[in-house]
Chains A and B, each alone.
Chain A
């Protein structure tokens, strides 16, 4: 027990496998463990990903018939797209806003749910529900509730006197975008909270007790002891959230889909406007490639700055 508490669990644990020191040897030993993952990814993901990249350099008809190479035309068309700067700004606001708020609330929720109180199990079950439900359905029911005519939420606001008459939450770019962000936070909370909660479980109680005995106050304990130990879980939750929120389509599509113009679009929803409204599959492919490169860059920067793997 003592050894356990004295070990900082996030300490670097990597070491070389025992046995042969040659590079091929170590790789050979790694392959049985990693091979299945590589095979599955290579077999299923590589082709469609490559296909997407390839179509971004082709000239496709509106129904996908290939009319030959297009060089960089699809990318040029993207740059010429007039609303691009607004869409990029929206994307930044969307990702940063949703992820930061989600992580902050989740930290509090996880801490709360880590403590024993009557009915905790039920509260934990309740929190899982937005995760269990499909995002499309959660969004649809909120959209339905906010409808100015038959929406229950809107009617409720009017009945309690918060509004004089139903407000078009989903009918104008800014309120609709904020509503969508709220929903995105809501559906991201369960996963984030649970990852952090699971992270808290791996922190031995005696670590906290030892800290407490030092006389540290709760906030100090949290910041200096708990938070650093939560780092691996926090980092993974953040990475997954960044990627998911960046690629999130259904929430904005449902909430802001009927709003004209591009004021409530992110790069991801713009891809689908290119496909569905403008019928430009090739331009959409180009934007998908750009989209992928952006999120890749963001994640690489994140990994570099936060160093969740503690590699060096």
Chain B
């Protein structure tokens, strides 16, 4: 009885506050807070942090945009890559998506029917300027939703001095060459490891994809995710061979990509798969490193690489913002603004005018060369996000477990999604 009374009191108190909170109210108080006075529009822009210059770069772009469009204000929110998925999920769940988002994958949002089709939010000139392969990768069921924003590809970085020391004259082109070269380096006994294999949760899906694509494998067949296939198994088994032969750094299963590349930059790992920004890191950290860039070794030596594109996308929140969004995105993709972004962040451009105008053409020649052979993640497949997560958190187990059973576990996660 006593308990009942106090429970009743508690629930009355709760009821009062909830009423006061106006919970459940679908009053459009969402954007009432920030200045929607007169004809002015405000846009929320959520972006990830690519480098320490990202915030400043966006602020510059926004300033020049607001100068041209005094009736539009853009609210910038920058989040680290570690956190941006949590932030965007919370916002979407609460029905408070930003107006424009910059992130890797767009398909989940498109599936949830949250996005404007790309052609509704950029001019046809902007639309026509995107390179064909990227547009394909930004479409879902024939409609383009993502605006390919920046791209990167992977290539093999090798330490020339260490390879020479180990008697290797040419960068490896096939898996067998790679195994031989890496083993030779490890056997030097200098403490330098042959090949850096990052299967920690940070980017295990990238390293694995490089191997499976290089063995002619694929993550999809039609509409289904296919992890446990003979080609993929052969690739993963070869990865395990590398590990068992001592050709990699210790504990590859729990090594993350970024720290591994740091170690490569400092000359303690002879070969590793890197990205365009790796060049900048070497220049900054260890300019004396005598290194070269070669296509990623594959099973038979034919060139394949993993391509990755990040996208901009526009959320359908209020119809009256569509024009403002279009103005901003067109501004962003105008050649000068776009190149300032891509060149400063050190990525590959996704537009044709960008490819012509980029100041980094020479610097990134090795990557631009392999880009036509690039394969992408099947990120338009609904189950890919979960598959990628499963790859990140499970594939490193090949260090201690049988490759086939690890792939089966990942396949199970994909089937469950």
Contacts and interface: CB of A to CB of B under 8 A. Distances in A.
Interface of A: 23-24, 27, 31, 35, 38-39, 42-43, 46-47, 60-65, 77, 147-150, 168, 170-172, 176, 257-261, 273, 275-281
Given A62-B385, A259-B396, A43 B17 contact: yes
Contacts of A47: 18, 21, 23
A38 B18 CA distance: 12
Which 7 pairs of residues, A with B, have the shortest CB-CB distance?
Answer: A64-B93, A260-B396, A277-B389, A258-B200, A171-B251, A42-B14, A43-B17
B13 A279 contact: no
A-side interface mostly: loop
Given A149-B268, A171-B255, A278-B386, A258 B202 contact: yes
B6 A27 contact: yes
Interface string B1-29: 11001100110011011101101000000
Given A62-B108, A171-B254, 20 more contacts: A31-B9, A42-B13, A47-B21, A60-B93, A61-B112, A63-B114, A64-B90, A64-B94, A168-B250, A257-B201, A258-B200, A258-B201, A258-B255, A259-B200, A261-B393, A261-B396, A276-B86, A278-B413, A281-B89, A281-B93
Contacts of A258: 200-202, 254-256, 396
A279 B88 CA distance: 13
Interface string B382-403: 0001100110111111010000
Contacts of A150: 259, 262-263
A61 B113 CA distance: 11
B100 interface: no
Nearest to B395: A260
B346 interface: no
Contacts of B92: 63-65
A277 B10 contact: no
Contacts of B416: 77, 278
A47 B413 CA distance: 32
A213 to B, nearest CB: 45
B199 interface: yes
B18 A148 contact: no
A50 to B, nearest CB: 9
A46 B12 CA distance: 13
A141 to B, nearest CB: 15
Interface of B: 1-2, 5-6, 9-10, 13-14, 16-18, 20-21, 23, 85-86, 88-90, 92-94, 108-109, 111-112, 114, 199-202, 204, 250-251, 253-256, 259, 262-263, 268, 385-386, 389-390, 392-397, 399, 413, 416-417
Nearest to B6: A27
B17 A23 contact: no
A266 to B, nearest CB: 15
A46 B416 CA distance: 32
Contacts of A39: 13, 16-17
A63 B112 contact: yes
B407 to A, nearest CB: 13
Contacts of B263: 149-150
B262 to A, nearest CB: 7
Contacts of A64: 89-90, 92-94
A261 B390 contact: no
Contacts of A77: 416
Given A43-B20, A278-B417, A63 B93 contact: yes
A46 B21 CA distance: 12
Listed residue (B85, B251, B390) with the most chain A CB atoms within 10 angstroms of its CB: B251
A259 B253 contact: yes
A281 B204 CA distance: 22
A43 B21 contact: yes
Contact of B385 (A38, A65, A168, A279): A279
A297 B402 CA distance: 39
B108 to A, nearest CB: 5
B186 to A, nearest CB: 13
A17 to B, nearest CB: 14
